[in-house]
Structure 1
C-alpha cells in the first residue's frame, strides 16, 4: 500500500517577514547592576514600569531562582532599549549580577509585538507533573508558602508574589500532602464557609503540624455534622455563615481571615481543654495569625 502525504497549501498572503532581520547579534552575558544601569540610561521605547513586577523579579534573583532563558535584553539598530527594562531594574534593585541573552540590532518596528503573550501561571508550571486540579493546587501551594513566610503581613502586592519555581519546588518536595489537601478541600468546601483554596491550605498546614491527629474524625465530622454536640469545634466551623464571603466593605473576608478561622477551630478541637470560649471570626486589627497545635507521634525505643 502506498500512502501519499498531502502538503498544505502555501498561504496566499504572507503572515510575516520571510527572512530574519539582518544584522541582529546575540550573546550570553553577565549583566551586573552597573551594566544594567548603563543599559537603562540609553534611549528607551519601553512601556510604563510596573514596580510590582520589578520587585517580584528582584526577589527571585535574591532567592537564586533566576534561570537563563531566551528572554533577555534587546536593543534596536540605533542602540535604544526595546525589551527588558523590568529585568534590568530588578538586577539593579537586587544588587546581584545574572546571566542573560543580550540582543543587538533588531528593527524598531518589532516593538509593538513584544511581550504580548500570556504569562505562564503556576498552574501551567505544574502541567509537566501530571497533577490534577492544577489551578487549585498552585493556589494552595502559594498560600501555604505565604502562611509559612509572612503570616502577619498582607498577602497582596509584590511581596506576596510566589514564583513558579517555588510552586513547582514545593510540590515536588511534598506532593503527597498537597495532593491530599486538594482532594479533601474539594469535599469539605461544600460544607464550609471558606473557599477551596483556604480549606486546602489550612488542611495542609494543620495536618503538617499534627500528623498524629485523628484526621478521619476531623474530616468526617465536618462533612456530615452528624452527632456533633454543642461546643464541638467542628460544629462551630460548619456554622460559620457563608455570607461572610460576600463582597462588601464590611463583609469581605480575606484568605488570611478564612485560614485563621479554620486553624482556630482545629486548635480547639485538638486541645478542647485549652479552647475556652471559641470565637470564629475574622482577624481583628493587630491580631496575629494563629499557629496550628502540634500533635506528633510518640517516639518508641
Structure 2
C-alpha cells in the first residue's frame, strides 16, 4: 500500500515536553475557549500522577502556535491535573494546530475498562472488569462509597491487577457466576467476596462452602451458608432493589467469617453505618 508521506501545510508539530505545575498555569492562562471542566476527571488524572501511574501516550495538549506564545486549544483536564498533583509529567505538545480543528477535538469514543481486558482472551469480560475494580476498591477504600468520581480506577491499574492474579480472578468470576444463582447478590458481588476471602484464607478448603451455598443440602438452622442463601432482596416503594456492591460483599464476608469460625448465624444484614468487615485470615505454613 502506498502512503503519501507529504504533510499538509497545516499539520501541527509534536514536541515532547516535561510540563511542570507552573508551566501548566501559564498554558491555562492562554486558553482560547473555556470548556466546562469535569473536576472528577481532573481528580482522576491527578490521582494517577500521584500514584505514579501516569503514562505517556499520543494524547497531549494542543496549541494554535509555539509553546511560548500559542493559545491552548486542548488539554485543560491534563494541565489542571498536573497543577493539582503538584508533579511535573511528560506530555506531547502539538504546536500550530489550526483553531478550525477545535470543534472536533475529543469527539472519539473513550476506551473502556472492558476494552482494556479484551487482549487477555478471558471470557465474561464485563464481570471480570467489574470484579477487579471492586477488589481494588475493597482493598483501598473499604469504608467509602464505591460509586462516583472518587471510585474511578485507571484502566492501566485494572490490567496490572489482572496480570498479577489472573488465575485467582478467573476462578472468582467462575464462582461468582455460580454462587449468584443461589443467593441474593450479583455475579460481581459474589466474585469479589470469593476473591477477598480465599485470598485471606488460602488454607481453608472452600469446596464445602460452595457446595452448601449451591445445593443447600443438609444445612441446619444457624449455618451461615443457609443464612446467606436466605438474605432477601431489599425492597423500596414496592420495587425490588439489590443491595449495593459494597453491601453485597460485606454480607458475603460476614457469612464466610462466621462459617470459618464455627459460629451460628440465622440472619445476615449490613447497615450503611457499619465498617466493612475484613475476612478472617488463615495462611498456609511456610
Report the counterpart of residue 12 of structure 1 in structure 2. Answer: none
1:58 to 46, 51, 63: 46
Secondary structure of the residue aligned to 1:106 is coil
Q: Deviations over 1:177-229 (max 9, x none)?
A: 00000011111111111111111111000000111112111111111111111
Asked which structure has the greater CA Rg, the reply is 1
Q: CA deviation at 1:294?
A: 1.3
- For residues 259 and 245 of structure 1, do their structure 2 counterparts lie closer, same or farther at Cα, with a shift above 3 Å needed? farther
Aligned length: 279
Give the 4+ runs in structure 1 shifted more than 6 A: 245-250
Going from structure 1 to structure 2, the CA distance change for 1:128 and 1:267 (only over 3 Å counts) comes to same
Give unpaired runs (5+ residues) of structure 2: none
The answer for the alignment partner of 2:250 in structure 1 is: 260
Distance 1:247 1:216 in 2: 39
* Partner of residue 42, structure 1: 30
CA contact (8 A) 1:260 1:283 kept: no
Q: Could you tell me which residue of structure 1 aligns to residue 229 of structure 2? A: 238
SS at match of 2:96: strand
Unpaired runs of at least 5, structure 1:
1-6, 8-17
Q: Is the 8 A contact 2:12 2:94 kept in 1?
A: yes
Deviation at 1:23, TM superposition (A): 5.6
Q: Partner residue of 2:213?
A: 222
> d(CA) in 1 for partners of 2:178 and 2:240?
29
Q: 2:169 aligns with which of 169, 178, 181?
A: 178
- Report if the CA contact (8 A) 1:62-1:94 is conserved: yes
Verify the 8 A CA contact 2:46 2:84 in the aligned structure 1: yes
- Counterparts of 1:130-279 in structure 2, within 5 Å, are 130-241=121-232, 243-244=233-234, 253-272=243-262, 275=263, 277=265, 279=267
CA deviation map 1:204-257 (0-9, x unaligned): 00000111112111111111111111111111100111x327798995621111
What residue is the counterpart of 2:103 in the other structure?
112
Q: SS of 1:30's equivalent? A: strand
Q: 1:11 is matched with which residue?
A: none
Rounded to whole Å, the distance in 1 between the matches of 2:195 and 2:161 is: 12
How far did residue 298 of structure 1 move? 3.7
**1: CA distance between counterparts of 2:81 and 2:238?**
36
Cα distance per residue 1:161-186 (max 9 Å; x no partner): 11111111111011100000001111
Measured in 2, the distance between the counterparts of 1:183 and 1:157 equals: 27
SS in 1 for 2:8: coil
Q: In angstroms, what is the RMSD of aligned CA positions? A: 2.2
TM-score between both structures, scaled by the size of structure 1 = 0.87
1:150 and 1:101 map into 2 onto residues whose CA distance is 33
Q: In the TM superposition, what whole-angstrom CA distance separates every residue of 1:254-282 from its partner, at most 9, and x where no partner exists?
A: 1111111000000111012xx35554113
Q: Quick one: distance in 2 between partners of 1:217 and 1:246?
A: 34
- Per the TM alignment, residue 41 of structure 1 is displaced from its structure 2 partner at its CA by 0.5
- Matches of 2:235 and 2:124, distance apart in 1: 22
Q: How far is 1:74 from its partner?
A: 0.3
CA distance in 2, matches of 1:190, 1:246: 22
Distance in 2, Cα, partners of 1:225 & 1:23: 67
Q: Are residues 1:291 and 2:278 paired?
A: yes
TM-score by length of 2: 0.91
| CA distance in 2 between partners of 1:123 and 1:102 (Å) | 29
